[in-house]
Chain A
Amino acid sequence: MRQKLSIAGFLAPFLVLFSAFFLLPIGYSIYRSLTVVERTGPLGLGGAEQVFGGLTNYLWALQEPGFLGGLGRILLFGVVQVPVMIAGATLLALLLDSASARWKGFFRATYFLPYGIPGVLASILWGFLYMPGVSPFSELLGVEIDFLGQDNVLWSIANIVTWSFAGYNMLVITAQLNAIDPSLYESARMDGANAWQIAWHVKLPLIRPALVLTTVFSIIGTLQLFAEPMVLKELSTAIDVRYTPNLSAYSEAFVNNDYGLAAAQAVLLALTAFVLSFGFLKLVGRRGP
């Protein structure tokens, strides 16, 4: 009995907070997504009340070209950016792990640096590096590169995300590389394998769990894309208020005051995140992150 009480004591703080700030908002979001505001009286001026609206908000969300466009845009973004970043991080981790590398500590620290910079600040910083008239890259090449134009801005954002998180992912992969038993390399070398073959045939399969973990977190991160386009929106006319699903939900809620529709969009986004991350885990045949 005494032990039961202490177990409850250990669990209670987390469970209470989890219920209040995770489960309750999710439940509330679902509830709000099922309600619509109905106007009464002549010309709808009599007042507004919340009534049950079934799946109306979801239908609206799915018929809204802006929201769907944003969803398609970040899916395209994810299909390109996530593999590029994970491949880059893997390459850096393998290079640093190889016997040929010098100054490993310096390089590792350098690659990890941007992780300490919040997405908003990274976007402000890169915003200047992209800005016509200020951009040192355009200056270097002697031509004005249109980083913020319609065609390029999505990939300019992808660059910010890659810059921020590649080093962090490299570190996760490095952690797993360090856990590999060095005698495995010894026996591979005895069998005549060179450094490239060891990296490809021995190391790569063994760091699979780290690659799965980083990919799942990257997928979830991609779907939530918000700060970067929100900041660059000030500099680029190519980014509108529905550029990503999170931007859509934000502007439905705080510009149009349509919380029902915003809630439906948030729920749809969370569902997409679940489907994609579990789908990916299923695809690679592993349970849990």
Chain B
Amino acid sequence: MQNEQVEEGRRDFIYLATGAVAAAGVASVTWPLVAQMGKAADTRAAGSIEIDLAGIAEGSQLKMLWRGKPVFVRHRTPEEIAEAENADVSRYPDPQTDTERLVPTPSGEVNPKYLVMIGVCTHFGCVPVGEQGDYGGWYCPCHGSHYDTSGRIRKGPAPTNLAIPPYEYISDTVIRVG
């Protein structure tokens, strides 16, 4: 009788151990099956692009593809800059001053003429259209989000401002994105 109880305890342990090993095995096989769908090494490595700002006329916008997404570089007019800088951002959905949305040039100052953004609406990823909408900035035709001349969300369903990509000035007129 006593002998049988000992046997049962051993058996439970063996069941549990076997189950644990099997579960670990299934998990370790499942992980590659799931992870393969992530970004591949070549997609990750899709490097940086250099943009020459001198070629962009005042009041016009350059669109370039970076990591499959459009990057907007707008050479803003003095009126647009004034509008972006003088705005009272405290009541905006995503408060950010214009300077916070720019990157310093080699001289350490920001150059408000050039606004660099990812041209993807923060709602569902459409490409907003320039010089449209209620605030003279960008307007997303998909679900009606309005951005101002600094790319800040003012009206519509988008939750945040148009994103700023990682970039730096490598000279006064050339930037590197990525």
| Chains A and B come from one and the same complex | no
Binding site for A on B (CB under 8 A): none
